[in-house]
Structure 1
Amino acid sequence: MSVPAEIFKAYDIRGIHGEQLGPDDAEQIGRAFARVIGELEGKPTTELRLGLGRDMRLSAPEMAARYRDGMVAEGATVIDAGQVGTEMLYYLVGSRDLDGGLMCTASHNPKAYTGAKLVKRGAIALSGDEGIQDIRRMVNADPPVLGDASAGGRAGLVEEVDIYDEFQAAALKAIDASNVKPLKVVVDGGNGMAGPMAGPLLRDLGLELVETYFTPDGNFPDHEPNPMLEENRQFIMDKVVGEGADLGIAWDGDADRCFFIDDTGRFVDGDFLTAILAQHLLQKRPGSHILYDARASRAVPDTVEAAGGTPHINRVGHAFFKTRMRDEGAIFGGEVSGHYYFHDFYNADSGTLPALLVLEKLSVEGKQLSELLEPYKAKYFISGEINSEIADAPAKMAELEEHYGSMDGATVTHVDGVSVDFDDWHFNVRASNTEPLLRLTLESLVSPQDMEAKRDELLARIRA
């Protein structure tokens, strides 16, 4: 029985455990992954050194063991870090110059899901364009091109490592820990990997921590580990206000993304957080290059330029950011979705470094997070990303481009989907990689009312 094609996503593999993706499938994917990395590296699989990690999901121990069996069956040496956050797997691959790595995780998805994030040398993600679809074809080939998962070939080796102390020491180098003041911080780990990964660092900084859901538990007894959904972040928003805290920090399940709540209990938009982090990092390294995604507020390039940096707009997605970061020598890149990438972290995304950097910035400037956000909220009025179910997304994008792109003052670009820019407003529309959805983001520099009017007009045309 073949593995469903739809679980092979643009940037990872993800499906319902036991229905779409099971242990036998994991072993075959492990074999295929080793072969794909071997082809990319131009070496036999018996010479490969591959990292492995797993999150706290109930299925993760068995699934990770079977991924490992598959890689070992191909002759690879597997460096197994055990239960870690996803960025720790990236650190393992980058710091040891491994040929690639596999993280057994379903990120922020509900309890029933399992999956894998896959990277090549340099902790650069495989994608649908490079690697993931090759794995799908190998796994589902008829006749099979991979060995029988039950054959039990074990030509490779396994080395088990504990990288917690090493990773945490490396992460702490992002800031001057002596700068951090004893702020009161509510943290919500979502019963994911943030507790063991970032918890020790935060405790050592002398903060007044209010720890919630900081113990990994694949049952997710409290709420799903996806702070992007309002129902999952309402708890920490209320908790920050109730505790009189300086801020709140919430992580997704595998803890490679963190999200911030300001001192008034408001959720901090990812593009504004990107601007704040960029400004802080440019103070450390003046004149550097910064990446931001095609959906982002103009707050990002405006802030970067004002701070003496060079902004670069980029296509959404791990693989595109990590590769461009390397090519541009950028020190930092931020996505609206809460992925933040760092040159000094192998150009990979981290949920630990943004937390440390924001704590440092608030301490050094002696300001509340709401004060840092106020200039942005007073000038840039953003819609957030809005999805619409559309049968033919490319046709709809072409229609919108023809209508708005022909207006006076319009500038059309195709960095990611279609973007149309005017002096005082702009929008981007992109098609989903996996669903019949069109995603809209829009910003006005006039007023909230202007943003809402233009947003509603765009949505009416999209959904007509």
Structure 2
Amino acid sequence: MLPAPRADLKANTFAYEVTPLVKPTGFREYDARWLFEKEINLLGVQALGMGLGTLIREMGKEPRIVIGHDFRSYSASIKQALIVGLMSAGVEVNDIGLALSPVAYFAQFDLDIPCVAMVTASHNENGWTGVKMGAARPLTFGPDEMGRLKEIVLKGEYKPCPGGAYKYVEGMRERYIADLADNVSFTRKMKVIAACGNGTAGAFAPETLERMGLEVIPMDAELDHTFPHYNPNPEDMQMLHAMQKTVREQGADVALGFDGDGDRCGVVDDEGEEIFADKIGVLLARDLSSLHPGAQFVVDVKSTGLFVTDPVLQENGAKTVYWKTGHSYIKRKSHELNALAGFEKSGHFFFNAPIGRGYDDGLVAAIALLQMLDRNPDKKLSDLRKSLPMTWSSPTMSPHCDDEKKYDVVDKVVKAFEERAKSGGTIIGQKIRDVVTVNGVRITAEDGTWGLIRASSNKPELVVVIESPTSEENMKKMFEEMDAELKKHPEVGEYNQKI
């Protein structure tokens, strides 16, 4: 049996070749992510597989699992090491090969298999790897499961078990595309940009959209694990600006951008304006609540306040709950409430029946958006955008903060803003309307301008988001106040992008 992992191994040493390297901080709130070779080695991945197999049996689940990998130069080798560990723990592995995360989730239903392990670093830059896991479709692990998995792996409590097996499943890509495309058609002619950032979605998105009768212009759809143009992250302004340029050049109706593992969707409209995913969520909620009056929605704390104040949603009787940011949290809350849909500002969209199966899928979100346009044949997406009440929103901004320090920093920031509110203090020169601490801190001024600071769940970063319903000036003032609070903590570094 493998020895218990260590976190202090150096590459190119004897110990590195015979001992699992696993940095504890790689176990995140709802998935696992490490810098490959620096924070985890192949033996560490094997230990993770043994730990996951042990946990599956401990949870009383049938020991059968779907496994896939994204398009990075090292993902296949990481998947093989994970498979060895899973089989050692007595798990039947069903390998679907190169896949999107939603293809792996789909395969759980299609093959009637309870568990999933998708090797992907999602939108993280090259060098990162990770695994998204679940044992109760359509849900993925949350903090309880991840905490127990961490304990099993780091303490070397994994248990070898006979009965492990391996199957390679052919044709899952075609079955997934057919499931999405074969029963969808549009009465409206639409020209669509499919922006894939040279990530895995390039092998899935353009063909799926074409099979529905759309005119599709692939953009950076050739698979290239060096990501030569930009990181495939539809929340990153570099990718959005590239989408803007292509929409304008091609005269397209919309540009749809997919992240590295295809579970998120970003949107640029026909005028080349990016519409952040929370605003797309409001448009979709308007459309869906007109078809399903009184529909329940779940959104993350990074999302616009329009879900509560929008007059169309109010008229349709839509109900919205704000919840913790993170695909596992929103997915689980949407499932618990039997919500029609859940939305995250990062571009994760979750649709329950009759639209989807409850998991996040960038292509299912894209289809829902296109169907909304099809139901509004006299309106462009830009018209729908302009119909929303005006707000000024920031992109997601992420200053660096080490994994070992970020939660402590956020705790101090939360305390500072809570004390300010309790003592009758102000924010941007106004009374403080409320302070929400369900996930970091979201502080709202009297005029509805709000700012959020939370710890990133999957990178050594903090997350800052700002919105004002009154002016761009107040949005900038709120950012200055939030940033000033962060500058009190030397652990906080440079931002990836700013307003």
- Is the TM-score greater than 0.5? yes
SS in 2 for 1:179: coil
Counterpart Cα distance in 2 of 1:403 and 1:445 = 23
The answer to whether the 8 Å contact 2:88/2:162 transfers is: yes
1:276–1:21 distance in 2 versus 1, CA, 3 Å: same
Residues 452 and 145 of structure 1, relative CA distance in 2, 3 Å threshold = closer
Residues 1:205 and 2:239 are matched in the alignment: no
Whole-Å Cα distance in 1 between the matches of residues 262 and 31 of structure 2?
16
Q: Unpaired segments of 5 or more residues in structure 2?
A: 1-18, 426-430, 489-499
Change (3 A) 1:387 1:226: closer
Distance 1:110 1:413, change over 3 A: closer
Residues in 1 aligned to 2:139 and 2:46: alpha-carbon distance in whole angstroms: 22
Q: Give the stretch that moved more between structures: 355-364 or 214-223.
A: 214-223
Q: In the alignment, is the contact (CA less than 8 A) between 2:254 and 2:270 conserved in 1?
A: yes
- Cα offset, 1:98, TM superposition: 2.5
Give the distance between the partners of 1:211 and 1:319, measured in 2 at CA: 30
Shift of 1:96: 4.1
What CA distance in whole angstroms lies between the structure 1 residues aligned with 2:486 and 2:437? 18
| Counterpart position of 1:412 | 435
User: What secondary structure, in the 3-state scheme, does the structure 2 residue paired with 1:50 have?
Assistant: strand
Equivalent residues of 1:282, 1:309 under 8 A apart: yes
Say whether the 8 Å CA contact 1:180–1:359 is kept in structure 2. no
2:144 aligned with 1:135, yes or no? no
The 2-side partners of 1:80 and 1:461 are apart by 48
Counterpart pick for 1:320 among 329, 340, 345: 329
* Contact 1:93–1:121 (CA under 8 A) maintained in structure 2: no
* Contact 1:404-1:420 within 8 A present in 2 as well: no
Within 5 Å, which residues of 2 pair with 1:163-182?
163-172=172-181, 177-182=184-189
The answer as to 2:166 corresponding to 1:158 is yes
Given the alignment of the two structures, is residue 380 of structure 1 paired with residue 391 of structure 2, yes or no? yes
Q: Secondary structure at the match of 1:337?
A: coil
Of residues 18, 21, 28, the one that matches 2:47 is: 28
Cα gap change, 1:404 to 1:88, in 2 (>3 Å): same
Contact 2:181 2:209 in 1 (8 A): no
- The equivalent of 1:234 in structure 2 is 241
Partner of 1:397: 414
Cα offset for 1:163? 2.2
* Alignment map for 1:291-330 (pairs within 5 Å): 291-303=298-310, 304-330=313-339
TM-superposed CA distance for 1:147, in Å, is: 6.4
CA contact (8 A) 1:180 1:205 kept: no
Match of 1:69 among 55, 60, 84: 84
Aligned to 1:419, what secondary structure does the other structure show?
strand
CA distance in structure 2 between the aligned counterparts of 1:55 and 1:295, rounded to whole angstroms: 27
TM-score by structure 1 length?
Answer: 0.89
Partner Cα distance (1:190, 1:441) in 2:
24
Alpha-carbon spacing, 1:294–1:36, altered in 2? closer, same or farther (3 Å): same
Contact 1:240 1:265 in 2 (8 A): yes
Q: Which residue of 2 aligns with 1:116?
A: 131
1:195 to 176, 186, 202: 202
Residue by residue over 1:192-225, the C-alpha shift from the partner in whole angstroms, topping out at 9 and shown as x without a partner, is: 2222322222112222221122232323233322
Q: Which of the pair has the greater relative contact order for Cα pairs under 8 Å at 6+ separation?
A: 1
Is contact 1:393–1:436 with CA below 8 Å preserved after alignment? no
Aligned partners of 1:251 and 1:25: how far apart in 2? 30
DSSP-derived class of the 1:114 partner: strand
CA deviations over 1:328-363 (Å, ceiling 9, x no partner):
110100001111111133321111111111112223
Q: Which amino acid aligns with 1:259?
A: G
- CA separation in 2, counterparts of 1:19 and 1:280? 47
Please give the secondary structure, in 2, of the residue aligned with 1:185. Answer: strand
Structure 1 position 265, deviation (Å): 1.6
Matched, 1:278 2:288: no
Distance in 1 separating the partners of 2:459 and 2:73: 27
Structure 1 distance, partners of 2:461, 2:186, is 45
Q: 1:147 to 1:19 in 2, by over 3 A?
A: farther
Determine the structure 2 residue equivalent to 1:341.
350
- The verdict on how the C-alpha distance between 1:323 and 1:65 changes in structure 2, with shifts beyond 3 A counting, is same
Q: SS of the counterpart of 2:413? A: helix
- Residue 120 of structure 1 aligns to which amino acid in structure 2? A
Change (3 A) 1:195 1:387: closer
Matching of residue 99 in structure 1 with residue 114 in structure 2? yes
Q: In structure 2, the residue corresponding to 1:456 is in which secondary structure? A: helix
Equivalent residue number for residue 366 of structure 2 = 355
Contact 2:133/2:141 (<8 A) preserved: yes
Taking a change above 3 Å as real, the CA distance of residues 462 and 75 of structure 1, as seen in their structure-2 partners, is closer
CA, structure 1 residues 276+412, in 2 after alignment: closer, same or farther (shift >3 Å)?
same
Structure 1 residues 287, 395: closer, same or farther in 2, change over 3 A? same
SS at the partner of 1:290? strand
Q: Is the 8 A contact 2:256 2:366 kept in 1?
A: yes
- Taking the aligned partners of 2:144 and 2:347, their CA distance within structure 1 comes to 23
Equivalent residues of 1:21, 1:114 under 8 A apart: no
What amino acid does structure 1 have at the position aligned with 2:321?
Answer: H
2:98 matched to which residue of 1?
83
Determine helix, strand or coil for the equivalent of 1:341: strand
Q: Give the drift of 1:455.
A: 2.9
| SS of match in other structure, 1:365 | coil
Give % identity: 25
For 2:274, what is the secondary structure of its paired residue?
coil
Alignment match, 1:444: 468
CA distance in 2, matches of 1:326, 1:349: 12
1:103 and 1:177 map into 2 onto residues whose CA distance is 27
**Gapped runs of 5+ residues in structure 1?**
none
Label 1:386 to 1:97 Cα distance change in 2 as closer, same or farther (>3 A): same
